[in-house]
A and B are shown apart, each in its own frame.
Chain A
Amino acid sequence: MNIHEYQAKQIFAKYGVATPRGIIANTPEQAARNAEELGGEIWVVKAQIHAGGRGLGGGVKLARSKDEVKQLANEILGMTLVTHQTGPEGKLVQKVYIEEGADIVDELYLGIVLDRAKEMPVIMASTEGGMEIEKVAEDSPEKIIKVAVDPAIGFQGFHGRELVFGLGITDKKEQAKFIKLASALYTLYLENDAEMIEINPLIKTATGDFLALDGKMSFDDSALGRHQDIEDMRDISEEDADEREASQYGLSYVSLDGEIGCMVNGAGLAMGTMDTINYMGGTPANFLDVGGSANAQTVAKGFEIILKNPKVKAIFVNIFGGIVRCDRIANGILEATKLTDVNVPVIVRLDGTNAIEAAEILKAANISNIIVASDLGDGAAKAVAAAKQA
């Protein structure tokens, strides 16, 4: 689960990670009042959406008067912000964060992610702050210092020294400040079951202090049950409505931009089905894993979600029944044709547990737009052909 910058900064505050002061606003008037309350002569108006690259997209602006804060908030609130992370459709801005201006001497990068190869969190730091870290990793990987920290021993002094020497921080006071910050961030990461934390840029001020100018965090969905405070930060409006609806029915759905809807059991087979459609010259419209407890109702729901997409010209149902019984899926397909107007060809491949019973159910129902396939390759070929004819 992702959270907004202003929420990440609330969590930073709890762990002693310093940030510029800021207040969230939903209206231009509130934005101006926030600027008044913060004081000073310069403010930053920042769009709050779950995506990076907001500055380049025009969602972060500097204001030199309260009127300008109001005017910029008016422009940014309600705009559809397009960044390299939002996709071409962009994201609607519903909140702006008004922050005091900061006095920047230097821009750094500091983040923590899971290193899957080492199987422990890795702290990443770089002198190339304010740039996309993926770009730095590609162009000059030597500029990223990586320090893996085993949770069994926790953050130690030597981890901190590796970071500051790597970054070329020579002033002893600054070294101590940076190490304290990195250690706090590591504690935050573990205690909250974070998946990723990123401060980009982390700025150094004229007084040699480090401030998190930006903050990005995501959390392990499997651990949210023990972090109600973080679950409470969920912003449903940032999530894809179809994906969310699907998840409420135990379906895992990701929308893609092709023409063949897919309904599959198991994440691996679901991806494999998309790949096979692509290999045979078609384009998948979605990833959909009906999961291990699929029944008539969930299958019907799956059809409904797939058919919301007007680009879908055919649906390929590919089930290899293990725990999932094929006869239940077959009944689900029949149920779906009653509940929803399934107006495209449906190619059905049912194999594994109770496949024979399932074939009989489909045959007996005798529905004209259901095409039975014998295996995965046959099903994908028939789906591609059906989509091309449509």
Chain B
Amino acid sequence: MSILVNKDTKIIVQGFTGKEGTFHAQQCIDYGSKIVGGVTPNKGGQEHLGKPVFNTVAEAIESTGATVSMIFVPPVFVADAVMEAAEAGIKLAVIITEGAPVRDMQKAKAYAIKHGMMTIGPNCPGIITAEECKIGIMPGMIFKKGSIGLISKSGTLTYEGANQVCNEGFGISTAVGIGGDPIIGLSYKDLLPMFEADPETEAIVMIGEIGGDLEIQAAAYIKEHITKPVVAFIAGQTAPAGKRMGHAGAIISGGAGTAKEKMEALEAAGVRVVVSPAEIGKAVAEVLSK
């Protein structure tokens, strides 16, 4: 078991023949992910990386039966690509592209929800079910199969966290990089119940950062519904207010969205909160030995 994706998940790539799309699609194929084709308008009928290219998502679904799309199109085309996927019947869109305008994502997400399509990202490393299916840009070799679910706004902290978990002798069931933009698709409170229901997952690592209130929403959800142990780290305890820290959404505005308030809310919900990301692995070992 795992959440959302596994070895049988059929994936198409939107922006398949571009530089990024090509490089990462090949990496995913090498990992064992079932990439069944891709979409690049006006290149339909061609073959790329040994897979068929289609002009539209609808044609790709009809021909391949794909349920998931990995999106690499340029930032201003992201909303278009997401809405096309939603309308064509894709169930999950994983949006890797960085720099999509907020207003576009607002519109695209609302449309995806209307069509029952889940989204991950944008501006994220993607999702990986260890040793089965990688949909994204993360270095696959770090993720050894195991029982820890991981949800993170940050790409490199996902790798850092997964690496520590594996070094402690555990492994990863599924890791999801949800992205650090102001508007994102699946967030903690959507993914936590999936990990709670997944028999393979024994504990959850949750990595957040300053800005917004998704971590606060997660704390409220954990308090009421999550029985599995949760370890959390919130990045940006030392970040100055009013400054954007790399991610478009990582900003303390009007005094709200601080690491402190998020850490306190999570602690109050019974989460094991670590002050440094260097402690994630040890904390997982501790909560599981109890």
- Nearest residue, chain B, Cβ from A271: B235
Judging by beta carbons under 8 Å apart, are A268 and B153 in contact? yes
Query: In the complex, which residues of chain B have a beta carbon less than 8 angstroms from the beta carbon of A387?
Result: none
Q: Are A268 and B278 CB-contacts (below 8 A) given A223-B103, A289-B246?
A: no
Query: In the complex, which residues of chain A have a beta carbon less than 8 angstroms from the beta carbon of B75?
Result: 222
A245-289: CB near B (< 8 Å → 1, else 0) gives 000000010101000000011111111101111111000100101
Q: Are A275 and B238 CB-contacts (below 8 A) given A116-B249, A352-B139?
A: yes
Query: In the complex, which residues of chain B have a beta carbon less than 8 angstroms from the beta carbon of A320?
Result: 156, 159-160, 163
- Nearest residue, chain A, Cβ from B103: A193
Would you list which residues of chain B between 221 and 244 have a CB under 8 Å from chain A? 233, 235-240, 242-244
Would you list which residues of chain B between 137 and 161 have a CB under 8 Å from chain A? 137-139, 142, 152-157, 159-160
Judging by beta carbons under 8 Å apart, are A252 and B138 in contact? no
- Does B245 belong to the interface (CB within 8 Å)? yes
Task: Please report whether the interface of chain A is mostly helix, strand, loop or mixed according to DSSP.
Answer: mixed
With A and B bound together, what is the CA distance between A377 and B160 in angstroms? 11
- Does B63 belong to the interface (CB within 8 Å)? no
Judging by beta carbons under 8 Å apart, are B106 and A119 in contact? yes
Q: Are A353 and B238 CB-contacts (below 8 A) given A254-B245, A266-B156, A272-B277?
A: no
Judging by beta carbons under 8 Å apart, are B235 and A272 in contact? yes
Judging by beta carbons under 8 Å apart, are A195 and B160 in contact? no
Would you list which residues of chain B between 36 and 56 have a CB under 8 Å from chain A? none
Q: Are A322 and B183 CB-contacts (below 8 A) given A151-B106, A269-B160?
A: no
- Does B169 belong to the interface (CB within 8 Å)? no
Judging by beta carbons under 8 Å apart, are B276 and A222 in contact? no
- Does A168 belong to the interface (CB within 8 Å)? no
Query: In the complex, which residues of chain A have a beta carbon less than 8 angstroms from the beta carbon of B104?
Result: 223
- Nearest residue, chain B, Cβ from A221: B248
Q: Which of B87-95, B208-216, B264-272 contacts A (4 or more CB under 8 A)?
A: B208-216
- Does B99 belong to the interface (CB within 8 Å)? yes
Would you list which residues of chain B between 51 and 99 have a CB under 8 Å from chain A? 75-76, 99
Q: Are A268 and B217 CB-contacts (below 8 A) given A223-B103, A322-B137, A380-B276?
A: no
- Nearest residue, chain A, Cβ from B140: A322
- Nearest residue, chain A, Cβ from B246: A267
Judging by beta carbons under 8 Å apart, are A193 and B139 in contact? no
What's the least CB distance linking A151 to chain B, in Å?
Answer: 6
- Does A133 belong to the interface (CB within 8 Å)? yes
- Identify which of A117, A275, A280, A377 contacts B236 (C-beta below 8 A): A275
A177-198: CB near B (< 8 Å → 1, else 0) gives 0000000000000100101000
- Does B247 belong to the interface (CB within 8 Å)? yes
What's the least CB distance linking B23 to chain A, in Å?
Answer: 9
- Nearest residue, chain A, Cβ from B114: A152
What's the least CB distance linking B256 to chain A, in Å?
Answer: 9
- Does B250 belong to the interface (CB within 8 Å)? yes
- Identify which of A117, A264, A269, A271 contacts B210 (C-beta below 8 A): A271
Q: Are A114 and B182 CB-contacts (below 8 A) given A220-B101, A222-B75, A268-B153?
A: yes
Instruction: Place the interface of chain A in its size category.
Output: 35 or more
The interface centre, meaning the residue of A138, A225, A321, A376 with most chain B CB atoms within 10 A of its CB, is A376
Judging by beta carbons under 8 Å apart, are B278 and A380 in contact? yes
- Nearest residue, chain B, Cβ from A283: B238
- Does A351 belong to the interface (CB within 8 Å)? yes
- Identify which of B76, B106, B139, B245 contacts A321 (C-beta below 8 A): B139
Would you list which residues of chain A between 313 and 350 have a CB under 8 Å from chain B? 320-323
What's the least CB distance linking B270 to chain A, in Å?
Answer: 22
With A and B bound together, what is the CA distance between A287 and B207 in angstroms? 18
- Does B125 belong to the interface (CB within 8 Å)? yes
- Nearest residue, chain A, Cβ from B137: A323
- Does A14 belong to the interface (CB within 8 Å)? no
- Nearest residue, chain A, Cβ from B207: A268
- Does B1 belong to the interface (CB within 8 Å)? no
With A and B bound together, what is the CA distance between A270 and B101 in angstroms? 23
With A and B bound together, what is the CA distance between A274 and B233 in angstroms? 13
What's the least CB distance linking B230 to chain A, in Å?
Answer: 18
Query: In the complex, which residues of chain B have a beta carbon less than 8 angstroms from the beta carbon of A10?
Result: none
Judging by beta carbons under 8 Å apart, are A287 and B239 in contact? yes
- Nearest residue, chain B, Cβ from A267: B246
Judging by beta carbons under 8 Å apart, are A278 and B238 in contact? yes
A275-318: CB near B (< 8 Å → 1, else 0) gives 11111100010010100000000000000000000000000000
- Does B100 belong to the interface (CB within 8 Å)? yes
What's the least CB distance linking A194 to chain B, in Å?
Answer: 9
The interface centre, meaning the residue of A151, A195, A225, A268 with most chain B CB atoms within 10 A of its CB, is A268
With A and B bound together, what is the CA distance between A276 and B142 in angstroms? 22
With A and B bound together, what is the CA distance between A222 and B122 in angstroms? 12
Query: In the complex, which residues of chain B have a beta carbon less than 8 angstroms from the beta carbon of A113?
Result: 253
What's the least CB distance linking B281 to chain A, in Å?
Answer: 9
The interface centre, meaning the residue of B209, B211, B235, B247 with most chain A CB atoms within 10 A of its CB, is B235
- Nearest residue, chain B, Cβ from A243: B243
Query: In the complex, which residues of chain B have a beta carbon less than 8 angstroms from the beta carbon of A233?
Result: none
- Does B194 belong to the interface (CB within 8 Å)? no
- Does B275 belong to the interface (CB within 8 Å)? yes
With A and B bound together, what is the CA distance between A323 and B158 in angstroms? 13
Query: In the complex, which residues of chain B have a beta carbon less than 8 angstroms from the beta carbon of A274?
Result: 236-239
List the 8 closest A-B pairs by CB distance, nearest first.
A268-B154, A267-B246, A266-B156, A377-B278, A223-B101, A269-B156, A271-B235, A272-B277
Which residues of chain A have a CB within 8 Å of any CB of chain B?
A: 85, 113-114, 116-117, 119-120, 133-134, 137-138, 150-152, 190, 193, 195, 220-223, 225-226, 252, 254, 256, 264-272, 274-280, 284, 287, 289, 320-323, 351-353, 375-377, 380
Some 14 contacts from A to B, beta carbons below 8 A apart, are: A85-B242, A116-B183, A119-B183, A138-B255, A223-B103, A223-B104, A254-B239, A256-B238, A265-B156, A272-B276, A275-B237, A287-B239, A322-B138, A376-B160
Can you name 14 extra interface pairs (CB under 8 A) apart from A266-B156, A272-B154, A376-B160? Answer: A116-B183, A116-B213, A133-B254, A151-B106, A220-B103, A223-B101, A256-B240, A267-B246, A269-B154, A269-B160, A272-B276, A275-B275, A287-B245, A376-B277
